[in-house]
Amino acid sequence: MDLTELFRLTGRTTIVTGGGSGIGRASARVLASAGARVVVADLDADSAEQVTAEIKEEGGEARAHRVDVADPASVNALVEETAVAYGGLDILVNNAGIMIRRPLAEISYEEFDRVLSVNLKSVLYGCQAAARVMRPGSSIVNTLSTIIDFPTVGTGSYAAAKKGAEALTRTFAVELGPQGIRVNGIAPGWTDSGITRQRGTDGSGRFDQQQFDTLAHKMAAAAPLRMTAEAADSANAVLYLASAASRAVTGQVIRVNAGASMA
Ligand SMILES: NC(=O)c1ccc[n+]([C@@H]2O[C@H](COP(=O)([O-])OP(=O)(O)OC[C@H]3O[C@@H](n4cnc5c(N)ncnc54)[C@H](O)[C@@H]3O)[C@@H](O)[C@H]2O)c1
C-alpha cells in the first residue's frame, strides 16, 4: 500500500477560511504540501496574500480571497467563484473564528451576535454553499474548540457558538452523507495563534511574552501530555479528515489538545 497516496490531494480544490493566520495558515500550508490547490480566504486580505505567497514559494498552488464569513453573500461568492474557477470544490475548512472574552452576565447582545455570526452561522453558510457544488468524495472540516467539553469564565458566547457548530457538524454529516460528502470537526486545545495572543496583550495593545508563556505553561501542566498543541498539529488532523485516509469517517470531532479534554 502506498501510504503517501492515501494522503495525497493532487488536483483537489480546497478553501480554508481564516487561512491568513494560526491554525488556518498551518492548514492551508499542509493541504498545499499534499498537492491541493488552496484558496486562502480571510477577512484580512493582506494576511491571505502573505500565506498565498508562502505556499507558492514552497512550490504549491494557492490564491487569496477576501471573505467575511459572517456575511452569507460573501461566503456564497467565495464558494461559487472557486467552483467556477476550478470546476468544483473538494475540501472546505470552515476555520475562521474570533473570541470576545466577557462573562455572560456582562456581554452585550451585539458582542454575543458577533461571536455567533463569525463562529457558528459561518459554518451554516459555508456548509450550505459547499453542498451545492461538492461532488461525492468531498470533505468539510469545521474548526471547533476544546471549549465544547467544559465551560470557563468569560468564554460563554464562544462556547455557545462552538457547541452549536458541533451540532451543525453532526447534523450536516447525517444530511450530506448520502451525497458522499463527509463533515467532521477538529477541536483544538490551547494553541499559539492570534486568538490566544490576545490573552498576552494588555489594554494598550502591548504583547507581554512572559504573561503569555505563563498562561501557556499553565495550560500544558493541566493536559495529560504536559504540552500544548501547535497549529501544525491541528493542520495534520485537518489533512487526515480531508484525505481518503478518513473515507469512512463522518460526524466526528478530533480533539487536538494534548488530552486536555476527552469525550
Ligand atoms: N488558538 C487556539 O487556542 C484555539 C483553540 C480552539 C479553537 N480555535 C479555533 O481555531 C480557529 C482559528 O483560530 P486561530 O487560533 O488560528 O486564531 P487566529 O486569530 O490566528 O486566526 C483566525 C483567522 O480568522 C480570520 N477571521 C476573523 N474573523 C473573520 C471573518 N469574519 N471572516 C473571515 N476571516 C475571519 C482572522 O483574520 C484570522 O486570520 C478559530 O475557529 C478558533 O476559534 C483556536
Nearest ligand 1 atom to the CA of 158 is 43
Q: Which of 16, 43, 101, 196 to mutate to test the pocket of ligand 1 (most atoms within 8 A of CB)?
A: 43
- HSE (side-chain half, CA atoms, 13 Å) at 63: 9
Which entry of 86, 109, 125, 158 is annotated as an active-site residue? 158
Query: What pLDDT score was predicted for residue 157?
Result: 98
- What is residue 263's predicted lDDT score, i.e. its pLDDT? 85
Whether the Cβ atoms of residue 11 and residue 35 lie closer than 8 Å to each other: yes
The three grid cell numbers given for residue 115, joined into one nine-digit string = 461571536
Distance in angstroms (rounded) separating the CA atoms of residues 119 and 113: 10
In the chain (263 residues long), the average pLDDT of successive 10-residue segments reads 92 98 98 98 98 98 98 99 98 98 98 98 99 98 97 97 98 98 98 93 90 96 98 98 98 98 91
Amino acid identity for residue 86 in this structure: Y
The domains of the chain, with CATH numbers, are 3-189+230-254 (3.40.50.720), 190-228 (no CATH)
Q: Which residues line ligand 1 (CB under 6 A)?
A: 17-18, 20-24, 42-44, 47, 67-70, 95-98, 118, 143, 145-146, 188, 190-191, 193-196
**Terminal-residue alpha carbon distance, the chain:** 32
pLDDT at residue 200, rounded to an integer: 87
Distance in Å, CA 196 to ligand 1 centroid: 10
Q: What pLDDT is stored for residue 148 in this prediction?
A: 98
| 3-state per-residue secondary structure call for the chain | CCHHHHHCCCCCEEEEECCCCHHHHHHHHHHHHCCCEEEEEECCHHHHHHHHHHHHHCCCEEEEEECCCCCHHHHHHHHHHHHHHHCCEEEEEECCCCCCCCCCCCCCHHHHHHHHHHHHHHHHHHHHHHHHHEEEEEEEEEECCHHHCCCCCCCHHHHHHHHHHHHHHHHHHHHHHHHCCEEEEEEECCECCHHHHHHHECCCCCECHHHHHHHHHHHHHHCCCCCCECHHHHHHHHHHHHCHHHCCCCCCEEEECCCCCCC
User: Which of 30, 76, 78, 98 gets mutated to test ligand 1 (max ligand atoms within 8 A of its CB)?
Assistant: 98
48 CA closest ligand 1 atom index = 39
Q: What integer pLDDT is reported at residue 1 of this predicted model? A: 77
pLDDT, residue 203, reads 81
Question: 105: CA distance to ligand 1 center in Å?
Answer: 24
C-alpha dist (Å) from residue 20 to 2, 10, 50: 32, 22, 7
Cβ–Cβ < 8 Å for 98, 23? no
**Pocket of ligand 1, candidates 40, 119, 143, 152: which has the most ligand atoms within 8 Å of its Cβ, to mutate?**
143
Kindly give the number of the ligand 1 atom that is closest to the alpha carbon of 144.
7
Query: In the prediction, which pLDDT does 246 show?
Result: 98
Known active-site residue 125:
no
> Given this model, what pLDDT does residue 260 score?
97
Within its chain, how far is the Cα of 252 from the centroid?
15
